[in-house]
Amino acid sequence: MTGPIFDTHAHYSARAFDADRDFLLGSLPGKGVVGVCEQATHSGDAPKVLELAHRYPWVVAAVGIHPESLLPAADCGEEGPAPTVSVYGGDWAAEMRALAPYYEDPKVVAVGECGLDYHWPVPKDAQLAMFEAHIRLALELDKPIIVHDRNAHADVYALLKKYQPKGIVHCYSGSADDAVWLAKQGLFIGFGGACTFKGAKRAAKAISALPLESIVLETDCPYMAPEPVRGTRCDSSLIRYVGEYIAQLRGISAEEVFRTTAENARRVYGL
């Protein structure tokens, strides 16, 4: 058993886990996993996220609207558009109002996953307005925010600098210098399986530059399984590979990485 592992970013509500979700989640403590933050990405998966958080004592939840949820139907796959489009017609503000009662649940410890994603054909103005609304909500609720940043560093950082929320920059892909100033502002930097990939030189530099007290571990499961199991379905137990990689990079023990990052996760989520 490896641990203590705290997975700060997971998606067990995804279809990839339908067949064995209960068995897998029930097995995690035996694999050293002491905590999981399950992320909602829109109003459609929020109920399932809360159901999982209440069923398993080691699971907590974050609720928000992912920028990809704004994708129009023509740009979606076989699953079709998210409720942000199919139910609310793109009116993300109305969907945020519908999600408001969830934040009264003590199991909801963060606002997110939200942010900016310039990889997909989602209008930037809508993304920026929605992300800013999430930041303002997190400040109003005094909860951390879970930040998604894909190909949008400059605009994400500008809003984080303007409002200075607490929270986690998920799946960090920026520079070491930016990671350091974000951490000095009080944000935690999340690293998952992608940091172990052979071409992830920027992540390696950021991990080396940051104090360990500013790093949290994540999976984004079922996606981004780490080396040496890249390409398989990811789950929280595979964080052991990420922790071992970070330990090797920093010249410390894996147990120190797991212990400190789990403490960091509890601190950011107020647990």
> What does the pLDDT read at residue 79?
83
Res 1 pLDDT > 80: no
Both tokens assigned to 99: 């999600």
16-52 confidence digits (pLDDT tens) = 999 999 999 999 999 999 999 999 999 999 999 999 9
**pLDDT tens track for 182-193:** 999 999 999 999
Amino acid at position 156, single letter: V
Of all residues in the chain, the percent with pLDDT exceeding 90 is 96
Nearest to 193 by CA among 260, 239, 236: 239
User: Contact at 8 Å (CB) between 257 and 246?
Assistant: yes
What pLDDT sits at residue 29? 97
**Tens-place pLDDT, residues 226-258:** 999 999 999 999 999 999 999 999 999 999 999
Whether 158 shows a pLDDT value over 90: the answer reads yes
Cα–Cα distance for residue pair 158/180, rounded to 1 Å:
15
Structure tokens at 168: 């986690």
How many whole angstroms separate alpha carbon 24 and alpha carbon 236?
9
Which class is 5-269 in CATH? Answer: alpha beta
Mean pLDDT, all residues of the chain: 97
pLDDT in tens, 116-156: 999 999 999 999 999 999 999 999 999 999 999 999 999 99
Return the pLDDT at 143.
98
Q: What is the mean pLDDT of residues 94-108?
A: 98
Q: CA-based Rg of the chain, rounded to a whole angstrom?
A: 17
Q: How far apart are CA 37 and CA 134, in angstroms?
A: 18
pLDDT at 43: 98
